[in-house]
Amino acid sequence: MDANENLDEENIKRCNLSLPSNHQPDPDDGEGFYSIFQKHFKPIKLLGQGSFGCVFEAEISVDGEKRKEWTVDHPLEKVAVKRIPFRFSVSNISTIMNEVLSHKLLKHKGIVRCYDFWTEIPPKGWQRLADEELLNEINTNVELTYSDESSFLYIMMKRCDISLADWLIDNASRDLKIVKIIFSQLVYAVMYIHEKKLIHRDLKPSNILFSRDGSVKICDLGIASVRVINCEDRKGQEVAIERTMDQGTVLYMAPEQPGWREYSSKVDIFALGLILAEMCIVMSDDEREEVFDNYRCGMTNTILKKIPEAENFVSWLTNPIDTERPAASRLHTHEFLRFSQSRQEIKQIRERKRIKKEMDNRRSFVKAVTPWMDDPLPPPNLPVNHRLPNRTKVFFNPTTA
């Protein structure tokens, strides 16, 4: 941290920073340091780790107002807490908070819910000791990689058990109807992101999750730099103002991403095309890399020749010229996503189910009341002197109707 960078205490409070008591990022000892994660959560297991950091499954262990705040919109259940190391600076804090806040504000069934986020700036060496104790408690023998100078961003999210990457591994035989259903949900989520003037920029199978009911959810929006979209540049094309070289996963990057100062939401469309190709055809790692590179270079791929409707669709999404790719809002116009059951048919099926449920409830009610309708004894919960009218003596009187 530069000497001339002074911490604004109001901004720190608003950002929920967990700082040492003297507000210095690297004090000599840990006295006074308060870790929100350590004090408010009980880690259960390590769900994964990588260059991004690590993810813990955890239970909320704090009581009082903070617990009410965290659980007001969802039932008490296990959550996922992602921890991402970063280099501390005032400018980084501002950028990170803006990025993750934009994720927290997104409310869509196709987006993994972000419940809360905060940063922690532990004293040098403190995190190593805390992690040794934590990993020992959850019986995990791994080494979490980060610099001793690191600060950490924590994101508390809805827990999802399965990713699209897992689904690809477990399903060597791909049903095209299932692929279409999954991909259609994914398209709606991306469309919502773009409508909010954001770009995900790192779509890949491991960032696409399934909830318990099987619905598709996109995660890691708070980690990818939020792109402020300027619709007035490039003749109305949506343009991201800036980017850095290390953002995004190379394998799923659009050709314009690496090294460019500007790119648009069309990078997400390109990634969708690659993901769809991978969903339709089982490929080895080497085959996938070759096929994806061919798409980036605009070369012909024959990988989908046996599925012409998918081949045409993927070619549309992966056009090497970004302005030639469709907007997310146009994707459902393609024949590939015109299911054998249209949305109207799906609505009709749901309506029939609703009517059937209503009729079943009515039948249950009639069945329950029939025994006592003609019975001289009162039904349950009625006073003894109360008598129901005899149905044969109840007539419709037009003068009183």
Query: Is 247 inside a domain boundary?
Result: yes
CATH number, domain with residue 309: 1.10.510.10
Query: Is 123 inside a domain boundary?
Result: yes
Dihedral sign of CA atoms 155, 158, 159, 161 in order? negative
Instruction: Give the Cα separation of 391 and 192 in Å (integer).
Output: 56
Q: What angle do CA 297, 301, 306 make, to 5 degrees?
A: 160
Predicted TM-score (pTM) of this structure: 0.71
* Greatest alpha-carbon span in the chain: 94
Instruction: Among 337, 361, 377, give the residue marking a domain's end.
Output: 337
Query: Is 176 inside a domain boundary?
Result: no
Are both 139 and 214 inside the same structural domain?
A: no
Mean pLDDT of 363-392: 51
pLDDT in tens, 339-364: 644 555 556 656 666 777 777 776 66
| Strand stretches in 61-185, DSSP E | 79-86, 114-120, 151-158, 162-163
Q: Which residues are catalytic?
A: 202
Domain that holds residue 241: 205-337
pLDDT band for 229, please (50, 70, 90 cuts): very low
Instruction: Give the Cα separation of 170 and 204 in Å (integer).
Output: 17
Are both 137 and 260 inside the same structural domain?
A: no
Beta carbons of 80 and 56 less than 8 angstroms apart: yes
**How many residues appear in the chain?**
401
pLDDT in tens, 161-193: 899 999 999 998 899 999 999 999 999 999 999
Query: Is 385 inside a domain boundary?
Result: no
Q: How many domains does the chain have?
A: 2
Are both 60 and 134 inside the same structural domain?
A: yes
Are both 135 and 39 inside the same structural domain?
A: yes
